[in-house]
Structure formats: structure tokens, C-alpha cells
Structure 1
């Protein structure tokens, strides 16, 4: 079962890159494309945790979530009001 989940996580990451590229090409804006990519990376991290969780996978998922929060907060702070 873990092989299936690892492949699903890899496919989710690949689909995220493709989807973010499409959003960037269509909207010419970085923030929506980055939001799509970070959502897909979060989903991939959670899929990895659904298998046999180890401290490495927990740390990787936590790192992705932390980076997602930091980037989102930084983009919202830099956005003109």
C-alpha cells in the first residue's frame, strides 16, 4: 500500500507543477500560481503521511506546511492595499 501512496504523492506533485504552470500562463500572476502549487504540495505531503509515518515524513510534511504559511503570509504582507 505504501508504494501506491508514494506514487500518488509523486503524481500529485507533478500535477501541482503542471497546474501551477497553467495558472501562471493564464493569469500572468505569481500569487495564484504559487497558491495552487503549495496546495498540491500540501496534499502530497499528507498522502505520504497516510502510509507508514516516520519522523522523516512527519518532518517533511511539517516543513511544507511551514513554508506554505510563510510564503502566503509574505505575499499577503507585500500586496498593496
Structure 2
């Protein structure tokens, strides 16, 4: 992996932590903040895959995507139903 891709992946993960904290403070709910964090972690994982895909990196990215799908399903299920 090149140095630029490594720095970009690290920056994406760091920005994700900051963005998730901002969402958590402003909305005061964990699930939306977790969803934002996972979006940034997916971006960081894809940047890492661009540098040199290995099975470990592919498995990690797939796991993050799977967790993101579960969080999205949880957010949809927790919405109040409107008549």
C-alpha cells in the first residue's frame, strides 16, 4: 500500500470518529452515530483495498459492510410507525 493511500485511510477513519461524535452530541442517539462511523470505516476499508487487496483486507471490509447493514436494519426497525 502506498503512503498516500495509508494516510487517506487513516484520515477517513479519524474523520469518522469526529463525525460520529458530532452526530452523537447533536442527536443524542447512538445508532445514527454508529451508522455515520461505519460509513467512514467502509470508506477507509475501501481505500486500503485499493492499495493491495489481500484476503484479510477483503474479509475486514466485508465484515464492516455486514455490520453497517445490520445497523441500517436496526435504525429502520426502531423508527416509530406513523398511522
Instruction: Compute the TM-score of the two structures, normalised by the length of structure 1.
Output: 0.87
Structure 2 portions without partners, runs of 5+: none
What is the number of residues matched between the two proteins?
A: 81
Q: CA deviation at 1:32?
A: 2.6
2-side partners of 1:32 and 1:75: how far apart? 8
Which residue in the other structure is 2:57 paired with? 57
Structure 1 portions without partners, runs of 5+: none
Q: CA deviation at 1:52?
A: 0.7
Which residue in the other structure is 1:80 paired with? 80
Which residue in the other structure is 2:28 paired with? 28
Q: Confirm or deny that 1:48 pairs with 2:48.
A: yes
Runs of 4+ in 1 over 3 A off after TM superposition: none
1-side partners of 2:13 and 2:4: how far apart? 14
Instruction: Compute the TM-score of the two structures, normalised by the length of structure 2.
Output: 0.85
Give deviations 1:3-53, integer Å, cap 9, x for gaps.
Answer: 321221111111100111011112222233222111101101110111110
